[in-house]
Amino acid sequence: MDRTAAVPPIVRRARVFLYLLLIAAAAVTLFGAPVLEQAVREGRAPRAALIVAPGLLAAFVALFAAYRFALVRAGRYHAGKAFVQVGLMVLVMTLALPGSLDRWRAAGTVRVVDLSRHLGSPDAEARALAAELARHRDRSDALRYVPRLVQLLEDSSPEARRQARASLIALAGTDAGGEGVEAPQRWRAWWKSQGVVVP
């Protein structure tokens, strides 16, 4: 007798659901967790986002155990194999949980450095470094530095001017200001047209 054909439809649907849940848990754990962690550290996502990956994995383990128990009880699966499989799933869960807890604890302790003070530093190298870092920030965070970057176009340090212009171009996606003494004025006008107020 074909045991697959004898399996109730609800059990077959549960099997498909479990596979999808496992894929989702693996994808979030391997690829989504670092992105979520960075977003939480930068304040773009709540700390609760860090429990998505372990939550999906825990849900999979619990449902997988219930699924295997149902099959064993119906006499359609070997109890020893089911016990080993569920045990392995619990082991994976216990190995993944400490890392998730560490990320949870660290999420509220790390904050992105505010570049405003460094962009106005008396040290020319510090101004240049801060201007360079600005273009590597998330766009929503970097836009608040635009006014200071425009001011740095008139800085006494050639490197600070160069880095400020490079960051403005990176953030704008185009060289709207060009070069020359009127470049700051052109940048102010362009950013104003984009809704960013530059004094």
pLDDT digits (tens, 9 = 90+) for 116-155: 999 999 999 999 999 999 998 888 888 999 999 999 999 9
Predicted TM-score (pTM) above 0.75? no
CB-based burial, 86-119: b 16+ in 10 Å, e otherwise = beebeeeeeebeeebeebbeebeeeeeeebeebb
CB 83 within 8 A of CB 100: no
DSSP 188: H
pLDDT on residue 103: 60
pLDDT on residue 8: 60
Q: Which residues of the chain have pLDDT under 70?
A: 1-12, 41-43, 96-112
Pairwise CA distance, residues 56 & 37, whole Å? 16
Backbone φ, ψ for residue 112 (5° rounding): -70, 135
Which uninterrupted H or E stretch holds 103? helix 79-107
pLDDT on residue 167: 95
Summary mean pLDDT of the chain: 81
pLDDT on residue 188: 93
